[in-house]
């Protein structure tokens, strides 16, 4: 269905609605984004009722916010699109060049296409707004130079206005091994922005940028959120002025002169994703998880239990040692064995070899075939670590082609992890790396690539101008080419942990590595907030050694197992040193994961707003709400002497559940506060209504202890 609307356009799905005034003659303006009001009645009267008043001591007209805000509309905030060319005004005055088109608008979403133009400046802009069946909105602009001389684009953002109720901002920061740390503040007048100039998404990237009602939580309050689906420099922001309600926006962060449009050339912004929830942050997660799961390329096969060799052997690659590790991995139920850094020429530490993607003959005289063959014979898939965007100065590639480094001639960026960035937008460099990767995948039976990216892009210059945009597109092209030629190979986005997690890279990969830390206490927070916009099946989570090499913290096995269970599970531990008891517990855990992964990787993620800040309570509930699994985790000692009741969210109030304790995650304790009758018995029957509103008695756990529960409807 295609309509040229003389009335408001409405995109609605899953309880949310985006209502736009497209009556013209200006660009469409957003009247409402939030809860679906249902029948709009007389739409003419609706337009009349929503016409804003004139602001005090401002322009002599109502200030309306079109999809691309401009100063001609009275908007004094950040422009939606800005740039310059000699001899023309610096401010855009876009008008419709053809009627707005609405396609497929019904209760399952729809699509809005807007074509506008500024004849004086010589630009044409095509804007697409889409809503999927889960209420997720995505927005993108394409800007074309229609003049006879170049146009320099300075900024192009996608934004939507949010409700007047918005009073707080929540975003995230972080560092290596401590990603997704929340920071919350009041929503003030002016701009609140998060910018990244790292050339990659970044450890400190917000991922999801939220504004909401005062005091919103996981299970309550209205929340609006934006995510920029781009892996290079980017910005997320909210802006509020006295003349207008707040806006939420995002876009690529362009360096000066980075986008210079020749006549007839176009720039397309990344997709920016917007989601609203009337039921707190869990409502956002539900929409965004469903959006990703509906993609054609979303993984459909069970997510295999992995063992990654990094924290088991580091650079100590010996066939006998790795074969023994593989045999032990198969014994405990591992399904995919991944050989990490250290397999290629000259790579005995992190100072050399990057760029020389040939198997080191001094370590592997017969190539990787003996290890690959043994792994396959044990019934496991084989995976391999690569870092194709980087180069060590101490490498044959860098010595032969120093001009292939992403830098200005005569300048070198500061070293990071002893490496520089390879300019993949340079055709010769791209062709060389693509050929090496194709050769590896052609020679060996590789089911999985762990694709790493271990440094920021500092002073990146390609062909005389800022190089992040061109580099990002080249990486996307390389990933797309590999997937097309080797369709069975899965790829993980690892960027020194969680520094490249965004929907742009996820379009081309099958999972992300949330962090380089396997410390379960750090991981609980990291996975909690990564999970706001990435579902569990795409988030790698591994059981590490008792003492985490990133923090030095020693944690008991049960909480390490429970933490890794709620993701794409794996092991990163030299399990040849494990006791028989530890191996038995790992085998039981992998069996449980395999049994639960249909639930864990398709159900709704739920998190409780627990009254005790030292406690995390989260779970996954099946779509029909007949099966669930929850984890209660004590991150530090509590101020309480009696634990708060266990209230489990997301269940069906009218269903009776059999709540069973998973004994394999319990630590032995004789303290009276841990003796809870129903837990001692091992199970209890209770309704979903009681579990949500009244709860169950809970034990007071020691720090770094946990309780895992499985629920089944009777």
Task: Give the residue numbers annotated as catalytic, written as ranges.
Answer: 452, 516
User: Token digits for 401?
Assistant: 């082609």
| Contact of 422 with 389, CB cutoff 8 Å | yes
**Judging by DSSP bridges, how do beta strands 448-451 and 381-386 pair with one another?**
parallel
In sequence order, what are the residues at sequence separation of 6 or more whose Cβ sits closer than 8 angstroms to the Cβ of residue 420?
390, 391, 392, 393, 398, 405, 406, 407, 412, 413
3-class secondary structure, 324: helix
Please state, in angstroms and rounded to a whole number, the distance separating the CA atoms of residues 274 and 252.
15
Q: How far apart are the first and last CA of the chain?
A: 44
Please state, in angstroms and rounded to a whole number, the distance separating the CA atoms of residues 520 and 542.
9
Phi, psi of 605, deg, nearest 5:
-75, 130
Closest CA to 527 of 556, 563, 491, 502: 563
Please state, in angstroms and rounded to a whole number, the distance separating the CA atoms of residues 265 and 661.
62
Greatest Cα pair distance in the chain: 82
State the alpha helices, DSSP H only, in 333-426. 369-377, 396-400
| Contact of 592 with 680, CB cutoff 8 Å | no
In sequence order, what are the residues at sequence separation of 6 or more whose Cβ sits closer than 8 angstroms to the Cβ of residue 203?
174, 175, 176, 178, 179, 496, 497, 498, 499
**What is the sign, positive or negative, of the torsion defined by CA atoms of 320, 383, 475, 208?**
negative
Distances (CA, A) of 565 to 135, 300, 542, 619: 29, 19, 8, 11
Please state, in angstroms and rounded to a whole number, the distance separating the CA atoms of residues 385 and 446.
11
User: Token digits for 396?
Assistant: 């044959």
- Buried b or exposed e, range 614-632, using 16+ CB within 10 angstroms: ebbbbbbbbeebbbbbbbb
Burial of 338 (0-12, 13-18, 19+ CB in 10 A): buried
Cα torsion 677, 679, 684, 686 to 10°: value is: 90
Please state, in angstroms and rounded to a whole number, the distance separating the CA atoms of residues 683 and 660.
4
Please state, in angstroms and rounded to a whole number, the distance separating the CA atoms of residues 621 and 315.
41
User: Token digits for 260?
Assistant: 């210079």
Closest CA to 388 of 360, 349, 429: 429
Please state, in angstroms and rounded to a whole number, the distance separating the CA atoms of residues 224 and 559.
33
Distances (CA, A) of 524 to 13, 527, 535, 569, 648: 32, 5, 15, 14, 18
| Contact of 647 with 608, CB cutoff 8 Å | yes
In sequence order, what are the residues at sequence separation of 6 or more whose Cβ sits closer than 8 angstroms to the Cβ of residue 92?
68, 70, 79, 81, 82, 118, 121, 123
Q: Across-strand partners of 448? A: 383, 490
Please state, in angstroms and rounded to a whole number, the distance separating the CA atoms of residues 82 and 91.
7
- Buried b or exposed e, range 576-596, using 16+ CB within 10 angstroms: eebeeeeeebbebbbebbbeb
Distance of CA 186 to the CA centre of its chain: 25
């Amino acid at each position: 269905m295609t309509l040229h609307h003389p009335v408001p356009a409405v995109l609605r799905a899953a309880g949310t609605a985006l209502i736009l005034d497209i009556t013209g003659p200006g660009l469409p303006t957003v009247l409402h984004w939030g809860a679906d009001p249902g029948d709009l009645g007389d739409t003419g009267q609706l337009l009349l009722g929503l016409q804003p008043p004139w602001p005090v001591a401002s322009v002599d007209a109502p200030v309306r916010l079109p999809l691309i805000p401009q100063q001609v509309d009275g908007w004094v905030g950040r422009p939606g699109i800005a740039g310059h060319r000699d001899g023309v005004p610096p401010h855009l005055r876009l008008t419709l060049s053809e009627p707005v088109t609405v396609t497929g608008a019904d209760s399952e979403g729809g699509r809005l296409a807007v074509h506008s133009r500024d004849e004086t400046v010589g630009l044409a802009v095509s804007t697409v707004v889409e809503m999927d069946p889960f209420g997720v909105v995505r927005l993108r602009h394409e800007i074309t130079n229609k003049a006879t001389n170049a146009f320099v684009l300075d900024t192009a953002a996608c934004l939507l206005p949010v409700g007047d109720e918005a009073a707080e901002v929540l975003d995230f920061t972080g560092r290596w091994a401590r990603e997704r740390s929340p920071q919350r503040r009041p929503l003030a007048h002016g701009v609140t922005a998060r910018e990244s100039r790292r050339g990659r998404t970044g450890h400190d990237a917000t991922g999801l940028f939220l504004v909401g009602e005062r005091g919103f939580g996981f299970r309550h309050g209205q929340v609006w959120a934006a995510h920029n689906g781009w892996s290079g420099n980017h910005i997320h922001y909210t802006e509020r002025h006295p003349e207008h309600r707040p806006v939420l926006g995002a876009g690529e962060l362009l360096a000066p002169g980075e986008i210079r449009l020749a006549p007839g050339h176009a720039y397309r912004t990344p997709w920016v994703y917007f989601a609203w929830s009337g039921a707190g942050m869990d409502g956002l997660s539900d929409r965004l998880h469903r959006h990703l799961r509906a993609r054609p390329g979303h993984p459909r096969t069970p997510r295999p239990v992995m063992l990654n060799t990094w924290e088991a052997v580091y650079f100590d690659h010996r066939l006998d040692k790795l074969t023994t590790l593989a045999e032990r991995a198969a014994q405990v139920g591992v399904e995919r064995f991944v050989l990490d850094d250290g397999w290629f020429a000259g790579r005995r530490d992190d100072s050399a070899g990057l760029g020389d993607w040939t198997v080191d003959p001094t370590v592997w005289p017969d190539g990787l075939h003996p290890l690959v063959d043994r792994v396959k014979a044990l019934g496991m898939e084989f995976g391999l670590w690569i870092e194709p965007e980087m180069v060590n100065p101490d490498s044959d590639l860098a010595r032969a082609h120093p001009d292939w480094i992403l830098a200005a001639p005569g300048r070198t960026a500061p070293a990071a992890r002893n490496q520089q960035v390879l300019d993949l937008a340079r055709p010769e460099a791209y062709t060389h790396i693509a050929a090496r990767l194709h050769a590896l995948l052609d020679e060996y039976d590789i089911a999985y690539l762990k694709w790493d990216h271990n440094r920021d892009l500092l002073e990146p210059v390609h062909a005389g101008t800022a190089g992040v945009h061109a580099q990002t597109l080249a990486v996307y092209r390389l990933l797309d080419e590999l997937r097309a030629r080797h369709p069975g190979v899965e790829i993980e986005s690892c960027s020194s942990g969680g520094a490249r997690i965004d929907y742009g890279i996820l379009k081309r990969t099958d999972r992300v590595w949330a962090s380089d830390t396997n410390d379960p206490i750090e991981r609980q927070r990291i996975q909690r907030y990564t999970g706001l916009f990435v579902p569990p099946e795409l988030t790698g989570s591994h059981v590490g050694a008792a003492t985490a090499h990133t923090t030095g913290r020693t944690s008991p096995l049960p909480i390490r197992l429970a933490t890794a269970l709620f993701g794409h599970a794996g092991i990163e531990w030299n399990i040849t040193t494990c006791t028989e008891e530890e191996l038995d517990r790992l085998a039981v855990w992998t069996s449980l994961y395999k049994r639960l992964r249909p639930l864990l990787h398709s159900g709704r993620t739920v998190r409780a707003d627990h009254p005790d800040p030292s406690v995390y309570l989260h779970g996954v509930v099946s779509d029909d709400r007949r099966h669930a699994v929850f984890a209660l985790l004590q991150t530090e000692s509590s101020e309480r002497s009696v634990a708060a009741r266990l209230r489990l969210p997301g269940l069906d109030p009218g269903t009776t559940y059999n709540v069973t304790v998973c004994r394999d995650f319990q630590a032995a304790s004789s303290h009276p506060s841990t003796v809870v009758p129903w837990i001692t018995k091992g199970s209890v029957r209770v309704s979903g209504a009681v579990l949500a509103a009244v709860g169950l008695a809970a034990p007071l756990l020691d720090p770094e202890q946990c309780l895992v529960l499985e629920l089944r409807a009777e």
